[in-house]
Homo-oligomer: A and B are copies of this chain.
Amino acid sequence: MTTSFFTRTEPVAFAGEASTDPLAFRFYDKDRMVMGKRMEEHLRFSVAYWHSFTWPGGDPFGGETFLRPWMHGGDELSQAKAKAEVAFEMFRLLDVPFFAFHDVDVAPEGASLTESNSNLAVITDIFAEKMQSAKVKLLWGTANLFSNRRYMAGAATNPDPDVFAYACGQVKAAIDATHKLNGANFVCWGGREGYETLLNTDMKKELDQLGRFLSMLVDYKHKIGFSGPILIEPKPKEPTKHQYDYDTATVYGFLERYGLTKDVKLNLEQNHAILAGHSFEHEVKLAYALGIFGSLDVNRGDDLLGWDTDQFAMDAKEMALVFHEMLKHGGFSTGGLNFDAKIRRQSIEPDDLLIAHVASMDTCARGLLAAEKMLADGALTGPLAERYAGWSGEEGQAMASGGRTLEAIAARAEGLDPQPRSGRQELLEGIVNRYV
């Protein structure tokens, strides 16, 4: 079956900017050097198992549209194996260095935790074997603690301690599998860690439960020698009315409260950022400022809609500003650009899957090249340094470093009459437009 899912057999390749082939790269030239690293090493693209291979195309008002062969007929484990064939074939065709998955994406849930864990082991053994010959590596694994009805009121934050325990069982198996496959990170998206109504919710207790859960996971990670970070993925709402991992700033406060900033970092997403009222660039900058930047789920939301649309990122300017910040910090360490993006449910052709990834990879590459050039020219960094130059003076440094008291500064201020200077926003916007 899977041998014929994609008609194409050759990996998508770089063809230059003039190409009009939707299955060729115009900007993503994986071996091109960008600030000392190959483009592929910068972008670290990852395909997401769930959207591409597990989602049937349904939405709240309609069912399956894709009719994927591995979702019909056969027993579940056989289907999972067939799905894996297609997945690895797509990784090869897109020539991506990474993929990512939830436990339930790759293996069927069993009638018990034991059986689920056993299924997971069967499939991840197959993965391990495939990965010996394939290029693709595992960017991260994670546990789906939100789809099964037992988690309807949360996993770690469930009012029932037995559900908490079950979640522990599932997450342990998932990090074990991730470790077995040499995953670079382990992700915890707080699926239903939040509330539908405050009327039935003890928020303080639930936050403490979540803190405990993560602390145990961090302990366990060290115990098994998993060297990558645990990544939390901020999201403000959906599926719950309020998700505890609201945004970067909220998660930072949470990690500080439970002493987890050292081991836990963030996996940021554009669509989650805008649902929280922030730009993607804001979340990335803030995560760096707070020392908790980890990885990116790259996609885009619709600015006019209030839910997670998870569309493929297609705005090079937005990506350029994100990469501009990242390049200032040296780019990814363990993280990568995971396509937490789904083709529209009307994009029912197999090739739509490839085309969407290619177009979005090219968008990212274009953004990266623009960022490189802006940095080389000091296009934004120059004016920025100039704007804050006053703080490098003696008095500025003294005030910033704690060398002055309020009353001393206040006394000095009596003689001051500081004049505002232009913020030059339109000038800077015009400059960015020159690069994209």
In whole angstroms, what is the CA distance A308 to B316 when docked?
25
In whole angstroms, what is the CA distance A283 to B165 when docked?
29
- Please, which residues of chain B bring their CB within 8 A of the CB of A113? 413-414, 416
In whole angstroms, what is the CA distance A282 to B279 when docked?
23
- Please, which residues of chain B bring their CB within 8 A of the CB of A63? 147-149
- Please, which residues of chain B bring their CB within 8 A of the CB of A78? none
Cβ distance A273 to chain B, nearest Cβ, rounded Å: 9
B-binding segment of A31-39, A92-100, A215-223: A215-223
In whole angstroms, what is the CA distance A305 to B427 when docked?
22
In whole angstroms, what is the CA distance A366 to B380 when docked?
22
Question: Which size bracket describes the interface of A in this complex?
Answer: 35 or more
Does A74 sit at the interface, judged by CB under 8 A?
no
B197–A410 touching, CB < 8 Å: no
Does A246 sit at the interface, judged by CB under 8 A?
yes
A286–B203 touching, CB < 8 Å: yes
Contact of A303 among B173, B196, B250, B274 (CB under 8 A): B274
Cβ distance A430 to chain B, nearest Cβ, rounded Å: 3
Q: Which of A171-203 contact B (CB under 8 A)?
A: 171-173, 191-192, 196-203
Does A114 sit at the interface, judged by CB under 8 A?
yes
Does A278 sit at the interface, judged by CB under 8 A?
yes
Q: Is the interface of A mostly helix, strand, loop or mixed?
A: helix
- Please, which residues of chain B bring their CB within 8 A of the CB of A396? 161
B274–A420 touching, CB < 8 Å: no
Q: Which of A123-158 contact B (CB under 8 A)?
A: 146-153
Contact of A172 among B114, B239, B407, B417 (CB under 8 A): B407
Cβ distance A117 to chain B, nearest Cβ, rounded Å: 8
Number of copies of chain A assembled together: 4
* With contact pairs A165-B399, A405-B219 given, residues A423 and B147 touching in the complex (Cβ less than 8 Å): no
Does A122 sit at the interface, judged by CB under 8 A?
no
Does A306 sit at the interface, judged by CB under 8 A?
yes
Closest to A363 in B: B433
A345–B424 touching, CB < 8 Å: no
In whole angstroms, what is the CA distance A356 to B424 when docked?
9
Question: Chain A 398-420, CB within 8 Å of chain B: the 1/0 string?
Answer: 01101011110111111011111
Q: Which of A228-269 contact B (CB under 8 A)?
A: 236-239, 241-242, 246-247, 249-250, 252-254, 256-257
In whole angstroms, what is the CA distance A15 to B356 when docked?
37
* With contact pairs A257-B290, A409-B169, A418-B166 given, residues A208 and B303 touching in the complex (Cβ less than 8 Å): no
17 contacts between A and B (CB under 8 A): A60-B239, A62-B149, A149-B420, A159-B390, A162-B390, A164-B409, A172-B410, A173-B410, A196-B423, A196-B425, A197-B429, A200-B425, A201-B384, A212-B400, A216-B404, A223-B407, A349-B422
Closest 5 CB pairs of A and B: A306-B306, A253-B253, A169-B413, A346-B423, A359-B430
